[in-house]
Structure 1
Amino acid sequence: MTAPTAPQTRPPTILATSGGHRTGGRTMVEFDALVHHAVDLSGAHGRRPRVLYVGTAIGDAEHFTARMAEAARVAGFDLTPLHLFPMPNLDDVEGTVLEQDVVWVMGGSVANLLAVWRVHGLDRVLRRAWDAGVVLSGVSAGSICWFQGGTTDSFGPELRPVTDALGFLPYGNGVHYDTDPGRRPLVHDLVADGTLPTTHCTDDGVGLVYRGTELVEAVTETPGKGAYIVTREGDAAVEERLEPRRLPGVA
């Protein structure tokens, strides 16, 4: 039997973010410019974009799935939720994933997300989707998951490293770099001692675009925010700031 394929051939693309959502006018949540940019990167034109919402990191919380469905309705997207609790809600998980334009992964516990994905083989499905041109994206845990690892509060209030993420991208990832005061110094320590490789970081509202494994652009939905590359030099970490391109606002 021939495996399902993505709707069209596109280069492997990831948009890793610390943003994408905002408070809505008539809804609790609306998609901000980063989610719209993920759709733009997919090249979906002339029809309603197909977006898969994955809420594993918050235990497939039904109330938030409903909020995301409302956000998708307002944005004009066709949204399909993928739940893994208490069992997969789709008969053909791989076929559904490969039919999407964008996969958007919600934040929460990246450690739990990785464990549950691996139990269900979703890690392998997402790798095939990435190779097939489905845009992989997400916020916070939904950003770290695509990298070698990063900093997480999955294990408790004290931030700790996670080093067994999917590894599609050969870097570490630092999220909420400007709003969670413990993340920047921990990233520096983990890069300096070799626990994390070169690490790409985002302030809230910023996303990083990768074609294949190459970082091609930093973008932002919030003015004044930055992206950063932290590298190891000797036994120290060195940080370089990248100025993101401002994305058009969402009406």
Structure 2
Amino acid sequence: MIIAIGGGEVSQNETYEIDKFIVKSSKKEKPNFLFIPTASKDAKPYIETINNLYESLGCETDTLYLANVEVNRKEVSQKIENADIIYVGGGSTDYMMKIWRKYSVDKALMRAYKSGKVLAGLSAGSICWFIAGHSDSEFIEDIENPKHKWVKGLGIIPYLHCPHYDEPERTGFDDFYSGQAADAIAIENQVAIVWDDYEMKVIKSNPSKNAYKLSWTDTGLEKEVLY
């Protein structure tokens, strides 16, 4: 199962109902929770926020550090294997995917999906499960004249993706997406899609927000609200 969250401030409990659902989905009394904060370059305050939240929800928490450290590939595989829930944090999707491929984290996460673990994430941690996502990595990395771009994910969920769909910076996504052959899933903040064996449903921590399926047809853009 994958729970892909469009966005929201975790520190302000904006995703709290979704976080509770993630823990419940493990069907474990005290699930082993693994946070992968690669996209934020292992930002300490972020790690503390996530781990404190999930400890309060009854998890045994651990963190997989991959930025600015000497990485032990065996330890990477073991941490992923030991986890019941794997949560991927937000930040630079581009940086994260490069690091994952360098240390075969992408392959380990594919195995984790096939073995039935609960996989989740927000923003970059949502994009990673799709074919590719609308990424603001160039803005995060302070590149001159930054622009949004597609960043390739693991392709488990067979759609293109836009997180933070209700934020002003993402208003250009519909044009950016135009002409693509694959359908796209656009998710607003405080909303998640649950991908379970090719079935998709929507969960929310804010009832007024939505997720959408976008398709490009001969007559132009078609958009439907997902439930």
TM-score by length of 2: 0.88
Aligned to 1:49: 31
**Distance in 2, Cα, partners of 1:31 & 1:198:** 26
Q: Which amino acid aligns with 2:124?
A: A
Whether 1:160 aligns to 2:144 is: no
Q: How many residues align?
A: 221
**2:172 paired residue among 185, 189, 199:** 185
Aligned to 1:211: 196
Alignment of 1:76-87 (within 5 A): 76-85=58-67, 86-87=69-70
Alignment of 1:1-251 (within 5 A): 13-19=1-7, 21-23=9-11, 32-44=16-28, 47-85=29-67, 86-88=69-71, 92-156=75-139, 158-179=146-167, 181-186=168-173, 188-194=174-180, 197-212=182-197, 214-234=198-218, 236-243=220-227
**Of 135-144 and 31-40, the range deviating more from structure 2:** 31-40
Distance 1:122 1:192, change over 3 A: same
Q: Could you say what secondary structure the match of 1:156 adopts?
A: helix
* Offset of residue 69 of structure 1: 2.4
**Distance in 1, Cα, partners of 2:89 & 2:218:** 36
Identical amino acids, percent of aligned pairs = 28
Which structure has more helix as a fraction of its residues? 2
Q: Which amino acid aligns with 2:136?
A: D
Q: Is the 8 A contact 1:191 1:197 kept in 2?
A: no
**Distance in 2, Cα, partners of 1:241 & 1:31:** 20
* Offset of residue 163 of structure 1: 4.1
**Distance in 2, Cα, partners of 1:235 & 1:16:** 30
**Distance in 2, Cα, partners of 1:67 & 1:17:** 17
Structure 1 residues without counterparts, runs of 5 or longer: 1-12, 244-251
Q: Is the 8 A contact 1:178 1:203 kept in 2?
A: yes
Q: Which amino acid aligns with 1:39?
A: V
TM-score by length of 1: 0.81
